[in-house]
Amino acid sequence: MSHEALESLKRRYLTLRKAEAVRVLKIQDELLSEIRAFLKGEGFVEILAPIIGPVTDPGIRGAKQVSIDYYGANFKVMSSMILYKQMMITSLPEIFALSPNIRLEPLETVKTRRHLTEFRQIDVEVAHATYKDMMKLGERMLCHTITVIKKKFRKELDEQKRVLEVPKRPFKKYAHREALEILKNLGISVDYGLEIPWNGEEALSKIHKEPFWITDFPVTARGFYYMEHEDNPTILKDFDLIYPEGFGEAISGGEREYRHDRVVKRMRKSGENISEYGWYLDMLRSGIPPSAGFGIGVERLTRFICGLENIWDAVPFPKVAGFHSP
């Protein structure tokens, strides 16, 4: 990233006035309205997302969580509301929230152009759903949003020089293992048990013209809350959606482990500090339904739809790793 682009982050009150910023924010407003309308049409109830709590999602790929002193207790700022979604579906079976997340991402994420330290997800969860149900929902939601934005913002997309096609459903699917094979052929070798690194994700994204899924990540790469396959507990019933054209990851999600004893086993394996998860483990002991869900990053969706080079142009008040901006 050029020094100039970084410096301009400090003067957001100037760049926000430019025609491109105005276009992007109007498109963002519409895509939020459309996703809300779409989900409500499917029977979902919107809930208010938590901002702080005793624990938050530990599966955040090397980013650091933020802690605050909450009347003498150590509370975390939400890195994602996954644990709370599992609580919520005990009450309402189909929910979503516009959920703010803070993750102190490593400094090198400045170069990926798709990482912020403050971002939002549309976070969705459905009781008794399978991960395949959620992939279908994600496809419908994305295609619907693109269709509407294309219709309502033709002029703005032209001004952005953005050629946006509505993807064909069903999207292509690769098992994680297959994705690593493709990467190997591209000259990028990745350890099987780990997350796909950012350069690998981008390389896969670049060779596709339509969004595609990667499923069945190894258990060692992901959080304790994903469900293992019954016939092969080394892989998970989970998925990422990857945007095409180099834009990288759009969605992560999957089926949730909800059984107390299994979660504790998984936490032990992944080295969690079990004592921090008091309310969560109590809740699992009380019994909750199985569920599946996903989160789609709002700023990344905006970046993709508007064809922006940098994610920090897809949010009013951008926060980028290591950089002090308003």
Binding residues for ligand AMP (CB under 6 A): 60, 80, 103, 105, 115-116, 119, 121, 249-252, 295-297, 299-300
Give the residue closest to Mg ion by C-beta: 252
Task: State the minimum distance, in angstroms, from the CB of residue 318 to ligand AMP.
Answer: 10
What single letter denotes the amino acid at residue 267?
M
Task: State the minimum distance, in angstroms, from the CB of residue 25 to ligand AMP.
Answer: 17
Comparing C-alpha atoms, which of 135, 246, 255, 244 is closest to residue 199?
246
Residue 214 pairs in a beta bridge with 174, 240
Which span (35-43, 86-94, 197-205, 251-259) binds Mg ion, by CB under 5 A? 251-259
**Residue 287 structure tokens:** 């019994």
> Contact between 215 and Mg ion (CB under 5 A)?
no
121 contacts which partner out of ligand AMP, Mg ion, none, CB within 5 to 8 A by kind? ligand AMP
80 contacts which partner out of ligand AMP, Mg ion, none, CB within 5 to 8 A by kind? ligand AMP
Task: State the minimum distance, in angstroms, from the CB of residue 310 to ligand AMP.
Answer: 12
> Contact between 252 and Mg ion (CB under 5 A)?
yes
Phi, psi (deg, nearest 5) at residue 235: -125, 160
Of 156 and 216, the one with the shorter C-beta distance to Mg ion is 216
Q: What is the CA radius of gyration of the chain?
A: 19
Of 254 and 318, the one with the shorter C-beta distance to Mg ion is 254
Which span (42-50, 138-146, 159-167, 249-257) binds Mg ion, by CB under 5 A? 249-257
Of 160 and 252, the one with the shorter C-beta distance to ligand AMP is 252
Task: State the minimum distance, in angstroms, from the CB of residue 231 to ligand AMP.
Answer: 25
Of 76 and 300, the one with the shorter C-beta distance to Mg ion is 300
306 contacts which partner out of Mg ion, ligand AMP, none, CB within 5 to 8 A by kind? none
Q: How many residues belong to the site for Mg ion (CB under 5 A)?
A: 1
Contacts of 254 (CB under 8 A, 6+ apart): 131, 134, 222, 226, 227, 236, 237, 238, 239, 292, 293, 294
Of 156 and 238, the one with the shorter C-beta distance to Mg ion is 238
Quote the CA–CA distance of 226 and 224 in Å, as a whole number. Answer: 6
Of 60 and 87, the one with the shorter C-beta distance to ligand AMP is 60
Quote the CA–CA distance of 56 and 296 in Å, as a whole number. Answer: 18
Of 285 and 316, the one with the shorter C-beta distance to ligand AMP is 316
C-beta of residue 30 within 8 angstroms of C-beta of residue 152: yes
C-beta of residue 134 within 8 angstroms of C-beta of residue 253: yes
**Residue 244 structure tokens:** 């095409």
> Contact between 101 and Mg ion (CB under 5 A)?
no
Task: State the minimum distance, in angstroms, from the CB of residue 109 to ligand AMP.
Answer: 7
Task: State the minimum distance, in angstroms, from the CB of residue 116 to ligand AMP.
Answer: 4
- Label each residue of 230-282 as H, E or C: CCEEEEECEEEEEECCCCEEEEEEEEECCCHHHHHHHHHHHCCCHHHHHHHHH
DSSP at 2:
-
Of 167 and 295, the one with the shorter C-beta distance to ligand AMP is 295
Find tokens 């295609």 and name the residue. 143
Quote the CA–CA distance of 180 and 200 in Å, as a whole number. Answer: 9
Task: State the minimum distance, in angstroms, from the CB of residue 125 to ligand AMP.
Answer: 13
- Chain positions contacting Mg ion, by CB under 5 A: 252
